[in-house]
Structures are given as structure tokens and as C-alpha cells.
């Protein structure tokens, strides 16, 4: 006879945790311990507790407890009113409700809170055994909305006949219910109730065991399931196995069907989540005795261990069972306890207690086995790195834009950190001007793209310039879609040449010709603008083919020929500044942008050979505005008309020079 032992037989995480908590309290010996219902569905185990002074009570017994009593709440949890009663009476209690069951309590309470806030008509549908203590505890968490408990699809169909189709239905399951039944109910409910949310709350221990027992049943002539007769998960294992193979449900070795076993070639063995290892061991040893040429329990266990050992480098999802300051213990569903040291967490500075909690699901990578101690070192850092690398590859292939913080300036570039990855950005791809210091980028949040990856060294090169280039292109496209003649922009002077100034309009540069900068005649644009100045410009011309834009800066509002009439009329006296000298006279600025001519004959009350004999550039003199010609845009000024004649004035030069002005 060949015996196939399920690698997932025996205490699950929740039961082991509860038993360990109880064991600690017994050893402490400070209180008289009372369990609210049996801790596990195993008669032998429960009897051993009684022998050690632990008493099993019902809720009705709470009134008669001694003062030093400690009430122990088992993995199933208890209804909220019972907890409230314990607290009202000041009875000390230790809550060993399995974290997976607690999670269902939280879902019900949170969904109820949200439904009340949204004013939604809500019904909870719970797949489970209506008399099971876990179900009673879950039901008690919904105070305002009904909880319909169904055992399977038949009952769901009956409920659906009279139920409100439009109500918001929330589907949950008892942790140990059948996975297949849950799937059937979900498929039916999807059509029956359009407004439905499903929480798959079946414990993965249950799921794994059910899958495992199915595999064993397919290879066996008989399956033996060991566990209490009232244990829900054990009963589920029996029913799953029975669908495939002949199955017997026993509580202990004494109940083994000896005659039947002798006729079987291959016998599978599995056990419920509350069956102690000692009971499984006895069952295997008894079976071995029946066929004394079979392996011992230790050999079976070793074989099971071998089968259950995950490969080094393999990723395994387990459950956090303990959190210490320097390491986290993980139940990997095998006989080895996973040890996750803080050095194997992505950030070794992480506060483990704040980041990991008992009952959390965690995926780790197998590193190194220590068989004598029954432990295996695991790493989360490597799992994160592997996931990260997949993400990096995806971002590289899709060209996605990522964002991160500059964490270091190194030789040749900078390092940018994003979540758990660090990228090198060469100086030429930082977007900083060539040769500029990169120090000011330190600490900045930057957007970047991955432009090169090295799958062997798991390194990625990123470019900030690429993102800037794309942003610039997008701005350009937007600009060209919106630009039109006369549109006004506020731009920044980017550069100055002898013939004009280039202005950045936000992604696109335009040119303001020197003559468009000012109404004054300029020798250089630098007389009125500097690089970095913010100036207002308007579009004069657009060439969409060459993508060139001519801009104007001076406007009619600042046209001096429009301003002049408000300031001066012919006959007015003005103080002006000499701006240039010629042989036939001197030009003086009347108002900014308009220069008038003081003809040589009008400079003094005597004959002079050269204007420079009397005037110098920069002199301020008083003049009379003799004439303003708006058509020819010329202004004639006279100093002489304000002076007393010393001698008869010479006739004006035979050929009069032009009375000129500004442009
Ligand atoms: S079977 Fe799952 S839910 Fe139940 S006690 Fe064990 S770990 Fe918790």
C-alpha cells in the first residue's frame, strides 16, 4: 500500500496562532482560563486542555465566572453583543479570532457605513452554515441591513425569487466554505442582481487544501480525511474528495477502516485545519503497521517535506505569522517557517512593525534552507526588484513618462529614484545646458523616460531631455493651432542681434525687427531690451511654411506723432536736448521719438560757421517750435527767435537742408 500524505495537512496559520496564544496563557498560569466554545474540533486535544485546567463554557456561563477569569475567544470569533457583554462586565478576554475572519467583520462594517452614508438599500448575502459560530459572528456585524445566509446555489435561487433585483447586494463567504459552490453562486448572482459586489473571503488555506485533496484523490483508491466531525473545513475536504474517490472521515487512528485499507493499493491522507500533527502522525503510523513494509511517519513526513519544498529562487505567497524588530516570520504553507530579515526588505531602514502585520499576505523569494532548524531564509527585496524590473521593461517598451526625485549628482550625470528603482541620467540627457553644473537639480522632482535598458545588468538609462523635447513639441503644436495675426503675447527676450530681438512666446520664437521695437531710431535693439526681459508683442506676419513669425512691439498707442499734438503746438517754447550735429544744423529731441531741426541760421543771433561752435551733443537748450508738419513728419525749431538780434541776421543758406525728425 502506497500512502500519499497531503503537504497541507494539519494546523492552519489561524489555528496554530490561537493554540500558541492559549499555550502561552496556560504556561503563564496567572488566570483561570475559559474558552468560549472548543478551540479546535478535536476531541483528544480538547480533553488534554481540560486536564490542564482550561474549561469550555457557553455564553450563558459568563455571569458565573470567577474574578480572575480569562475568556479565550477562538479563531471563529464571537458575535459583537458577546464582546460588548464581556466589556460591560469587565471580564478580561483574549481575542484569538483569525485575522481572515476579522477581515470579513471589517468588510461588513465598512460596507454598512458606506451604504448608510449613500442611502443605499443593501443586502449582505453570506455563503455559509447558518449555525456556524463564525457565521453568527459575521452576521452580528451588520446592525442596519439584513444578512441572508445561504448554504449554496439552491438557497440562493430560492432567495432570488422574492428579492429586490435593484438592491445593492454584497456577497461574502464563510472562510471555510466550498470554493466550487462560491463560484457557482457568483456566476448566478451576476445575472440575478445587477448591482452586486463580491468579496471572495474564502481562506486560501481552505482553497489550497481543497485543491490539494483533489490532486491526491485523483491518484488514490481511497482517501482518509482526519479531523473533527463538526469541523467545517474538514467536512468540505471530505465532500471534495468524495466527488472523485472513495473517502472516509475519521477523527483518529482508532477509527481507521483496517479491512478496507488492506485491499487498497494507494491511500491518500489529508486533515482538517484543526487537526494536530500528533493525530496525523498516529494515523500514518497505524496505516504503516497495517502494511509493515511501508514508510514510517517520519519518512512520510520527510517525503512530504521534500515534495513541499519550494525551489531556491522560487516566489511563494505566504502569511505573516509574527513580526519582530529585526525579522518577520512567514507561514509558507510548507513545513519550513520563512524568515524574512530586515536586510531583505527593500528599504532596510523600514520599521517592520509598521509595515507588516500578522495575517498579511506576503510574497517572498526562497533563499536558503536550514533543515535542522526547520526554517528557510526568504527575501522580499528580490521579489520587489523582479517586479520592478518588469515594470521598467514595460515602461521602456511603452515609452511611458515616469517621475522621480534626483537623489544624487555623480560623475557624468545624475541618479533619479522612483519607487524602488534608481535610474542613471547622463548629463547630456538632463536637459541642463552643456557644461552647466548639475548640482541645482539635486532634490528636484523630474519627469523622465527610459531610453536604454540592460537586461543582464538590470540597469536602465533615462532621459529628462526627451520629456522636455516632447513637452516643447506639444507646446509648439498648440501654438501653431492658435496663432493669428494681431494676437498679443507676453514673451521673454531670448537673444539679441544687430537687426532685432528674438522672443520666446512659449515654445516658439518670433523676431521683432529693430524698427519694430521702438518709434525711436535705434542703433541696436539693446538700447531698449535685454535678454530675459518680459515684453508684450503682437503678431505682424506668420509664415506657416517656414514657421517664421514676425512680431511687433511698438504700437500706435505709443506713436509719438499721435502724442505730439497733446504736448506741443507751433509757437510753443520747449526745453530740448541736442542729439546730433550736422553742418547745416542741430537735431534736438522734442519728445521721445521725435527730433526737430534747429537750422544753422536758427542757432544764434549772429552768423556762425558751424553748429558745433555753439552746441554740443547733450546740451539742453530752449527753443521755439516754429513748425510741425505732420505729413512730412518734420519739426522745425529755433533758438534764435528767443534771442535779441546782435547784428543783422544772415540770410539762410541758399540751399536749405531738410528739416528732419525721427522716423
Ligand atoms: S482555516 Fe483560514 S480562516 Fe480558518 S482559522 Fe485557519 S487560517 Fe483562519
* Digit-coded pLDDT (tens) for 149-160: 999 999 999 999
- Comparing 13 with 335, which gets the higher pLDDT? 13
CB 173 within 8 A of CB 132: no
Euclidean distance between CA atoms 100 and 174, whole angstroms: 10
User: How many CA atoms lie within 13 Å of 15's alpha carbon, on the beta-carbon side?
Assistant: 23
Question: Which atom belonging to ligand 1 lies closest to the Cα atom of 175?
Answer: 3
Euclidean distance between CA atoms 459 and 281, whole angstroms: 51
In this predicted structure, what is the pLDDT of residue 660? 46
241: its cell numbers = 474528495
Q: Which of 327, 338, 407, 402 is nearest to 366 (CA)?
A: 338
Helix locations, 121-229, DSSP H:
133-139, 153-162, 179-192, 204-219
Euclidean distance between CA atoms 251 and 226, whole angstroms: 5
In this predicted structure, what is the pLDDT of residue 327? 86
Summarised one tens digit per residue, pLDDT across range 483-513 is 999 999 999 999 999 999 999 998 799 999 9
* Residue 176: count of CB within 10 angstroms of its CB: 29
Q: Which residues contact 90 (CB under 8 A, 6 or more apart)?
A: none
Identity of the highest mean pLDDT range in 226-235, 323-332, 381-390, 442-451: 442-451
In this predicted structure, what is the pLDDT of residue 427? 93
DSSP labels, 393-424 = HHHHHHT-EEEEEEEEEETTEEEEEETTEEEE
Q: Which residues contact 522 (CB under 8 A, 6 or more apart)?
A: 514, 515, 528
The pLDDT of residue 658 is above 60: no
> What is the crossing angle of helices 297-308 and 277-290, to 10°?
120
CB 364 within 8 A of CB 334: no
If you measure from the C-alpha of residue 188 to the centroid of ligand 1, how many angstroms do you get, rounded to a whole number?
27
* Torsion from C-alpha of 331, 333, 335, 341, nearest 10 degrees: -30
Radius of gyration of the chain (CA): 46
In this predicted structure, what is the pLDDT of residue 293? 46
In this predicted structure, what is the pLDDT of residue 661? 45
CB 400 within 8 A of CB 449: yes
The mean per-residue pLDDT over the stretch 203-227 comes to 88
In this predicted structure, what is the pLDDT of residue 299? 56
Across the chain, mean pLDDT equals 88
> What is the crossing angle of helices 204-219 and 232-242, to 10°?
30
By mean pLDDT, which of 119-123, 204-208, 549-553 is the weakest? 204-208
Question: Which atom belonging to ligand 1 lies closest to the Cα atom of 101?
Answer: 3
- SS3 for 466-492 is HHHHHHHHHHHHHHHHHCCCCCEEEEE
If you measure from the C-alpha of residue 331 to the centroid of ligand 1, how many angstroms do you get, rounded to a whole number?
12
Summarised one tens digit per residue, pLDDT across range 344-377 is 887 766 788 888 988 888 999 999 887 666 688 9
Q: Looking up cell 511563494, which residue turns up?
A: 316
In this predicted structure, what is the pLDDT of residue 656? 47
Q: How does 136-161 read in b/e, with b if 16+ C-beta sit within 10 Å?
A: bbbbbbbeebebbbbebbebbeebbe
534: its cell numbers = 518680459
Catalytic site residue from 111, 112, 134, 516: 134
Provide the percentage of residues in the chain whose pLDDT is more than 70.
Answer: 93
By mean pLDDT, which of 19-28, 135-144, 613-622 is the weakest? 19-28
If you measure from the C-alpha of residue 138 to the centroid of ligand 1, how many angstroms do you get, rounded to a whole number?
14
CB 364 within 8 A of CB 338: yes
By mean pLDDT, which of 9-13, 33-37, 236-240 is the weakest? 9-13
> What is the crossing angle of helices 179-192 and 204-219, to 10°?
120
Provide the percentage of residues in the chain whose pLDDT is more than 90.
Answer: 56
| 81-90: long-range contacts, CB 8 A cutoff, minimum separation 24 | 81/140, 82/36, 85/59, 86/62, 89/62, 89/63
Question: Which atom belonging to ligand 1 lies closest to the Cα atom of 203?
Answer: 2
- Comparing 212 with 33, which gets the higher pLDDT? 33
Query: Do β-strands 594-599 and 634-638 pair in parallel, antiparallel, or remain unpaired?
Result: parallel
Q: Is the dihedral of CA 118, 122, 127, 130 positive or negative?
A: positive
Ligand 1 pocket by Cβ (under 6 Å): 12-15, 75, 98, 100-101, 175-176, 203, 205-206, 233, 273
User: How many CA atoms lie within 13 Å of 157's alpha carbon, on the beta-carbon side?
Assistant: 7
The mean per-residue pLDDT over the stretch 266-280 comes to 88
Q: Looking up cell 485543491, which residue turns up?
A: 211
If you measure from the C-alpha of residue 492 to the centroid of ligand 1, how many angstroms do you get, rounded to a whole number?
68
The pLDDT of residue 537 is above 70: yes
The pLDDT of residue 277 is above 90: no
Q: How does 286-325 read in b/e, with b if 16+ C-beta sit within 10 Å?
A: bbbeeeeebbebeebbeebeeebbbeeeebbebbbbebee
- Comparing 88 with 646, which gets the higher pLDDT? 88
In this predicted structure, what is the pLDDT of residue 476? 87
Backbone angles phi, psi at 180, to 5 degrees: -60, -40
User: How many CA atoms lie within 13 Å of 9's alpha carbon, on the beta-carbon side?
Assistant: 27
Return the ∠ at Cα 431 (arms to 429 and 437), rounded to 5°.
Answer: 95
- Comparing 221 with 291, which gets the higher pLDDT? 221
The mean per-residue pLDDT over the stretch 71-95 comes to 94
Q: How much of the chain is helix, strand and coil, in % rounded to 5?
A: 35, 30, 35
pLDDT band at 556 (very low <50, low <70, confident <90, very high): confident
The pLDDT of residue 97 is above 60: yes
Summarised one tens digit per residue, pLDDT across range 47-57 is 889 988 999 99
399: left (phi over 0), alpha (psi -120 to 50) or beta: left
Euclidean distance between CA atoms 251 and 78, whole angstroms: 25
The mean per-residue pLDDT over the stretch 515-519 comes to 91
Euclidean distance between CA atoms 302 and 377, whole angstroms: 19
Give residue 587's Cα distance to chain centre: 71
In this predicted structure, what is the pLDDT of residue 223? 94
In this predicted structure, what is the pLDDT of residue 524? 92
Query: Do β-strands 594-599 and 585-591 pair in parallel, antiparallel, or remain unpaired?
Result: antiparallel
CB 374 within 8 A of CB 331: no
> What is the crossing angle of helices 99-118 and 13-28, to 10°?
110
Asked about 134 being catalytic, the answer comes back as yes
Euclidean distance between CA atoms 140 and 135, whole angstroms: 9
If you measure from the C-alpha of residue 205 to the centroid of ligand 1, how many angstroms do you get, rounded to a whole number?
7
CB 335 within 8 A of CB 374: yes
The residue ranges of DSSP E strands in 227-314, in sequence order, are: 247-250, 266-271
Residue nearest to atom 5 of ligand 1 (CA): 14
- Comparing 589 with 294, which gets the higher pLDDT? 589
The pLDDT of residue 27 is above 70: yes
Q: How does 335-348 read in b/e, with b if 16+ C-beta sit within 10 Å?
A: bbbbbbbbebbbee
The mean per-residue pLDDT over the stretch 91-116 comes to 94
The pLDDT of residue 662 is above 50: no
Summarised one tens digit per residue, pLDDT across range 163-205 is 998 899 999 999 989 888 999 999 999 999 999 999 999 987 7
Residue nearest to atom 6 of ligand 1 (CA): 14
Ligand 1 pocket test: which of 8, 11, 13, 138 has the largest number of ligand atoms within 8 Å of its C-beta?
13
In this predicted structure, what is the pLDDT of residue 386? 83
Euclidean distance between CA atoms 216 and 208, whole angstroms: 12
Question: Which atom belonging to ligand 1 lies closest to the Cα atom of 98?
Answer: 8
Amino acid at each position: 500500500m502506497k500512502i500519499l500524505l497531503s503537504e497541507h495537512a494539519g494546523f492552519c496559520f489561524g489555528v496554530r496562532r490561537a493554540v500558541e496564544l492559549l499555550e502561552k496563557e496556560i504556561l503563564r498560569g496567572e488566570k483561570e482560563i475559559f474558552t468560549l466554545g472548543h478551540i479546535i474540533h478535536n476531541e483528544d486535544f480538547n480533553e488534554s486542555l481540560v486536564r490542564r485546567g482550561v474549561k469550555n463554557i457557553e455564553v450563558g456561563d459568563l455571569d458565573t465566572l470567577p474574578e480572575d477569569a480569562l475568556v479565550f475567544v477562538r479563531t471563529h470569533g464571537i458575535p459583537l453583543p458577546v464582546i460588548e457583554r464581556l466589556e460591560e462586565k469587565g471580564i478580561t478576554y483574549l481575542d484569538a479570532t483569525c485575522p481572515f475572519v476579522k477581515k470579513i467583520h471589517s468588510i461588513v462594517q465598512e460596507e454598512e457605513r458606506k451604504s448608510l452614508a449613500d442611502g443605499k438599500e443593501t443586502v449582505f448575502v453570506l455563503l455559509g452554515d447558518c449555525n456556524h459560530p463564525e457565521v453568527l459572528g459575521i452576521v452580528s456585524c451588520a446592525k442596519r441591513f439584513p444578512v441572508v445566509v445561504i448554504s449554496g446555489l439552491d438557497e440562493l435561487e430560492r432567495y432570488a425569487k422574492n428579492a429586490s433585483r435593484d438592491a445593492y447586494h454584497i456577497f461574502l463567504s464563510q472562510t471555510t466554505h466550498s470554493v466550487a459552490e462560491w463560484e457557482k453562486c457568483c456566476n448566478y448572482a451576476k445575472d440575478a442582481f445587477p448591482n452586486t459586489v463580491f468579496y471572495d473571503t474564502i481562506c486560501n488555506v481552505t482553497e489550497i487544501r481543497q485543491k490539494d485533496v483533489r490532486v491526491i484523490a485523483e491518484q488514490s483508491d481511497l482517501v482518509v480525511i482526519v479531523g473533527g466531525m463538526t469541523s467545517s473545513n474538514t467536512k468540505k475536504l471530505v465532500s471534495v474528495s468524495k466527488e472523485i474517490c472513495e473517502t472516509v472521515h475519521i477523527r483518529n487512528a482508532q477509527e481507521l477502516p483496517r479491512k478496507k485499507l488492506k485491499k487498497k493499493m494507494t491511500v491518500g491522507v489529508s486533515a482538517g485545519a484543526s487537526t494536530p500533527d500528533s493525530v496525523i502522525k498516529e494515523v500514518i503510523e497505524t496505516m504503516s503497521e497495517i502494511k509493515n513494509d511501508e514508510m514510517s511517519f517520519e519518512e512520510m513526513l520527510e517525503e512530504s517535506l521534500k515534495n513541499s519544498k519550494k525551489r531556491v529562487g522560487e516566489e511563494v505567497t505566504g502569511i505573516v505569522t509574527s513580526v519582530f524588530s529585526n525579522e518577520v516570520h512567514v507561514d509558507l504553507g510548507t513545513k519550513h517557517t520563512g524568515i524574512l530579515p530586515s536586510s531583505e526588505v527593500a528599504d532596510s531602514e523600514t520599521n517592520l512593525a509598521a509595515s507588516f502585520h500578522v495575517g498579511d499576505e506576503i510574497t517572498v523569494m526562497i533563499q536558503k534552507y536550514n533543515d535542522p532548524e526547520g526554517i528557510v531564509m526568504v527575501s522580499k527585496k528580490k521579489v520587489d526588484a523582479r517586479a520592478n524590473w518588469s515594470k521598467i521593461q514595460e515602461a521602456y517598451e511603452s515609452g511611458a513618462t515616469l517621475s522621480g526625485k534626483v537623489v544624487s549628482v555623480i560623475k557624468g550625470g545624475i541618479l533619479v529614484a522612483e519607487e524602488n528603482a534608481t535610474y542613471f541620467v547622463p548629463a547630456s540627457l538632463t536637459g541642463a545646458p552643456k557644461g552647466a553644473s548639475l548640482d541645482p537639480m539635486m532634490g528636484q522632482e523630474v519627469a523622465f523616460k527610459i531610453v536604454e535598458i540592460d537586461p543582464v545588468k538590470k540597469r536602465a538609462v533615462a532621459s529628462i531631455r526627451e520629456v522636455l523635447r516632447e513637452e516643447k513639441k506639444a507646446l509648439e503644436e498648440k501654438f501653431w493651432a492658435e496663432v493669428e495675426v494681431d494676437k498679443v503675447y507676453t514673451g521673454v527676450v531670448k537673444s539679441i542681434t544687430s537687426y532685432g530681438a528674438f522672443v520666446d512666446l512659449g515654445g516658439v520664437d518670433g523676431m521683432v525687427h529693430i524698427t519694430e521695437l521702438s518709434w525711436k531710431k535705434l542703433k541696436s535693439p539693446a538700447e531698449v531690451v535685454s535678454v530675459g526681459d518680459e515684453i508684450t508683442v503682437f503678431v505682424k506676419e506668420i509664415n506657416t511654411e517656414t514657421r517664421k513669425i514676425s512680431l511687433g512691439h511698438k504700437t500706435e498707442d505709443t506713436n509719438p506723432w499721435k502724442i505730439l499734438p497733446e504736448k506741443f503746438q507751433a509757437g510753443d517754447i520747449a526745453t530740448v536736448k541736442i542729439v546730433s550735429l550736422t553742418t547745416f544744423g542741430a537735431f534736438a529731441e522734442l519728445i521721445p521719438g521725435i527730433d526737430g531741426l534747429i537750422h544753422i541760421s536758427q542757432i544764434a543771433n549772429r552768423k556762425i560757421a558751424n553748429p558745433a561752435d555753439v552746441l554740443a551733443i547733450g546740451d539742453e537748450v530752449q527753443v521755439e517750435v516754429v513748425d510741425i508738419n505732420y505729413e512730412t513728419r518734420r519739426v522745425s525749431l529755433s533758438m534764435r527767435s528767443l534771442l535779441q538780434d546782435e547784428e543783422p541776421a544772415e540770410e539762410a543758406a541758399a540751399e536749405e537742408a531738410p528739416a528732419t525728425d525721427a522716423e
